[in-house]
Chains A and B, each alone.
Chain A
Amino acid sequence: MQIECLSCTKSNEFLLPLWVSTTFKFNEDDTLSILHLRPLESMSEKLAGNSSLREISCKECGSNEVEIIFNEYDNQDDDEVSALEGL
């Protein structure tokens, strides 16, 4: 699996927002303490869905134009096949 930024094409770090259910308590001095975190979204499902493409952003340039390649060897095989056909 590979993610590419179509804007800067350099970064390999990307940001993805996720929702979590947070259990917290009020302390005696009225401050908050977090007791537990439960993810509400599956990272893999979100990446596989098309909606995540708009939410993922490049950490380097902030662009949302990101391409997710699930199998980077697919294209390579096609290239090899076409090269052999050309010969």
Chain B
Amino acid sequence: MQLICHDCWNYTYFEVDVETLRELKGGNGHLTIQDTKFDDFNYSQSMLRDNLNDIVAYVIKENGAALIWDPESKSYQNNYISCARCGSKKVTKPYSYWHSNKHQSLDRELLANQKEFTELRKERRYANRMPVLYKK
């Protein structure tokens, strides 16, 4: 357990804003948008993963520095990471521990986790609703 949400106690799914790099390739009046590649190295995907790892590692290491005081809710909120289940920004670490990620293509990883993400969104949308009876 690396981080935990203080509203729904989720410790698995989170959201963070990350900067990545795209390449604009011009020619014959057309503009193509694609991943930045140097030889065979995909710099866009690498930058995204590095920035994500950096922010998460920073929040875990400097827990207090990543928190800001919100006078409206009278609570500390995470400046970088929010909960992907309930959207709360009351995310802190229970303790600090970190491993680097093993390499995997971003497209494959997104495809492999597509079903899980869909289930996650359904859960958020219908979590607090009663079952509905449909008439034929």
**Contact surface of A with B, Cβ cutoff 8 Å:** 1-3, 12-26, 29-37, 40, 43, 56, 59, 72
Contact = CB atoms under 8 A, between A and B. Distances in A.
B92 interface: no
B36 interface: yes
Contacts, number: 124
Contact size range, B: 35 or more
Nearest to A12: B26
A16 B52 CA distance: 18
B24 A16 contact: yes
A26 B15 contact: no
A41 to B, nearest CB: 10
Interface in B55-103: 56, 84, 97-102
A21 B33 contact: no
Interface of B: 1-3, 11-27, 29-31, 33, 36, 48-49, 52-53, 56, 84, 97-102, 106, 109-110, 113, 116-117, 120
A17 B23 CA distance: 9
Q: Which of A2, A19, A23 has the largest count of B CB atoms less than 10 A from its CB?
A: A23
A14 B24 contact: yes
